[in-house]
Structure 1
Amino acid sequence: MENIERKRLAVLVGCNYPNTRNELHGCINDVLTMRDTLVSRFGFDPSDIQLLTDAAAAADAGSGGSSSVLPTGANIKKALGEMVDQAKPGDVLYFHYSGHGTRIPSLKPGNPFRQDEAIVPCDFNLITDVDFRQLVNRLPKGASFTIISDSCHSGGLIDKEKEQIGPSHVTETSSKSSSISSKPKAIAFETILHHLSSLTGINTSDIATHLLELFAADASLKFRLPPLEVLDIFESSKPDEGILLSGCQANEMSADVTNAVMTGGKPCGAFSNAVQMVLKDREVELSNKKLVLLARQVLKEQGFEQHPCLYCNDENADATFLSQLE
């Protein structure tokens, strides 16, 4: 049998939005910590990990050097697209995003009141569920693409992915009040719309108009394609190797922790930190489902009202997180 060398590729994005009203504090720490974990535990080569942050100086710590690429919408999508395009059967792809999330009015025909999920790059060029679905659809057969999104409203970020752990799995909320100082990792749609309109000078509440004016071909497919073509992206989807571990449900907030006693005072994302705690406490292989359930338990014990979710096919729910090497 032919011996096929499998690559392990990653794109890590941390957005702290420094010196803005939307500033966060733990997002860059999240991806720096995960970079070290990918190398030490999961066998990733540092040269196969691309890091994008909006504070390059903060990325100097640890191996791998500093980040010279800002996490704009175009740069994030370029990095993800290049990772998917070079993937071969059997490769393990990973995307970790820590930053703000938002919800936008759905453009899907027949769903006028539905809201869709998006992440908020440093330039507000939204990356939407359509973009992530299209990336997963491009995967070669046999390659896996795992996403951790530590952001508000992150549940369902890969649309049409099967819910394994989600809203229907919430049986109780935390009875403990968290004493940890934190900030929600969300920017309201109205705030994003106001910011974009101040840049374009166009008087309209149609966010697509502003995004296309500012970013043109770099805007999300959701806004560039006709509605029926967007629908085709979802209708053509089939059982795939997309795996989403979200920091919370689509209707919930994820926390950015500023006085993280549990991490030695270092700011962090509550979900990213919970994942690290679970991985540190258990050296054995963990399935995607087990990792999410244990992270839920950690957050509940800490008093956070957010419920991490898992979206993937049945086989990947029980598959080992990032196909951990023995």
Structure 2
Amino acid sequence: MEKGKKRLALLVGCNYPNSQYELHGCINDVVAMRDTLVGRFGFDPSHIELLTDEPGSSVMPTGENIKRALGEMVDKAEAGDVLYFHYSGHGTTIRSVKPANPFGRDEAIVPCDFNLITDVDFRQLVNRLPKGASFTILSDSCHSGGLIDKEKEQIGPASFSDDTKSFTPPSSKPKPKTIPFESILQHFTSLTNINTSDVATHSLELFGTNSSLKFRLPRIDQLDFPDFLRPRDEGILLSGCQANETSADVNPAADGGKAFGAFSNAVETVLKENPGRVLSNREVVMMSRKVLKARGFDQHPCLYCSDENADVAFLCQPQSTS
């Protein structure tokens, strides 16, 4: 990357404290990644925004706040800039009851206020980038494969085998980072008192124009697909699992360890075990798969991007360690 080009990052960790959906390692994940971005990749700390739902946080990671921060980051981007979004928290899949829905099932992340951010929103963000900028998304959440709508699959659903022996993950059984679609509908219904299984109706009632773009689009089943949602090459998605899988949240408190997301921790492990080495996006995903298999996790990270970006260095050249 040319000297002087910006590296911008938004890191979001949602633990959903004091709720039935509580996780434990998500905030730890993004705090660790912030240190890695600065120490290994040379990000300016002032260009990294951290949003967590830790009690007392001045800005909570609501859907509106996350989308605002992502939009501001994209608006600042120029050709040659590197943008990075790391999310650790719950994910889900969305089903629409509307007929002839061109999106079908959509993947989404679940901010702390349940204002869902869908794969359509991420596609629209990627398409706003100026040509020559890149946008890498690492989502340590369930059902995260395909989180950028219509991005090309490079490493996807497939069996993966090697000769590494597996062992049981530390402490208690890992908790999946998923909230079932039915639970989200029940939560919305309890707030809106509207008797419908259409999540869009609930979301629009609760969040209005801050709802996902997916829920605010007109009946495009009878129109041409919007140009601003057509695939472009600037997006790079490293997902914690396949679209039909769950990602694990591990809380080894009984062993005296810190809680973590399995995929985030696997990526950190890969980077630490390869100091100073330039790793491609493809290598980071494949090596993370090996780490997860060795640790006994049944999830398969995936890579979605253009053919060229699959072999581009993950977040570009690391900072010199000399």
TM-score, normalized by length of structure 2? 0.91
Match of 1:25? 24
Match of 2:246? 253
Match of 1:102? 92
Q: Which of 204, 214, 237 is 2:196 aligned to?
A: 204
Distance in structure 1 (CA, Å) of the matches to 2:8 and 2:91: 24
Q: Which of 295, 299, 302 is 2:295 aligned to?
A: 302
| Partner amino acid, structure 1, of 2:5 | R
Distance in structure 2 (CA, Å) of the matches to 1:29 and 1:250: 24
Q: Which of 59, 67, 70 is 1:77 aligned to?
A: 67
1:108–1:231 contact (8 Å) kept in structure 2: no
1:102–1:188 contact (8 Å) kept in structure 2: yes
| Partner amino acid, structure 1, of 2:185 | L
The alignment status of 1:170 with 2:169, answered yes or no, reads no
Aligned CA-pair RMSD: 2.3
The alignment status of 1:223 with 2:223, answered yes or no, reads no
Distance in structure 2 (CA, Å) of the matches to 1:146 and 1:112: 25
Match of 1:192? 184
| Partner amino acid, structure 2, of 1:97 | Y
- Residue 97 of structure 1: SS of its match in structure 2? strand
% same residue: 69
C-alpha deviation, 1:232, in angstroms: 2.5
Match of 1:63? none
C-alpha deviation, 1:202, in angstroms: 1.3
The alignment status of 1:214 with 2:213, answered yes or no, reads no
1:151–1:185 contact (8 Å) kept in structure 2: yes
| Partner amino acid, structure 1, of 2:41 | F
Distance in structure 2 (CA, Å) of the matches to 1:116 and 1:307: 19
C-alpha deviation, 1:183, in angstroms: 0.1
Change (3 A) 1:164 1:261: farther
2:96–2:198 contact (8 Å) kept in structure 1: no
Aligned residues: 313
Greater fraction helix: 1
- Residue 252 of structure 2: SS of its match in structure 1? coil
Structure 2: runs of 5+ lacking an equivalent: none
Question: Which moves more between the two structures, 182-191 or 171-180?
Answer: 171-180
- Residue 322 of structure 1: SS of its match in structure 2? coil
- Residue 232 of structure 1: SS of its match in structure 2? coil
Change (3 A) 1:304 1:219: same
Match of 1:244? 237
Structure 1: runs of 5+ lacking an equivalent: 58-66
2:169–2:297 contact (8 Å) kept in structure 1: no
Distance in structure 1 (CA, Å) of the matches to 2:296 and 2:23: 20
2:124–2:229 contact (8 Å) kept in structure 1: no
1:29–1:267 contact (8 Å) kept in structure 2: yes
| Partner amino acid, structure 1, of 2:203 | L
- Residue 87 of structure 2: SS of its match in structure 1? strand
| Partner amino acid, structure 1, of 2:13 | G
- Residue 256 of structure 1: SS of its match in structure 2? strand
Change (3 A) 1:236 1:127: closer
Change (3 A) 1:234 1:272: farther
Q: Which of 122, 147, 170 is 2:112 aligned to?
A: 122
TM-score, normalized by length of structure 1? 0.90
Change (3 A) 1:110 1:148: same
| Partner amino acid, structure 2, of 1:316 | N
Q: Which of 149, 157, 169 is 1:159 aligned to?
A: 149
Change (3 A) 1:73 1:293: same
C-alpha deviation, 1:69, in angstroms: 1.1
Per-residue CA deviations over 1:156-183 (Å, capped at 9, x if unaligned) read: 000111111011x324499745243310
| Partner amino acid, structure 1, of 2:265 | N
Distance in structure 2 (CA, Å) of the matches to 1:177 and 1:323: 33
Question: Which moves more between the two structures, 103-112 or 69-78?
Answer: 103-112
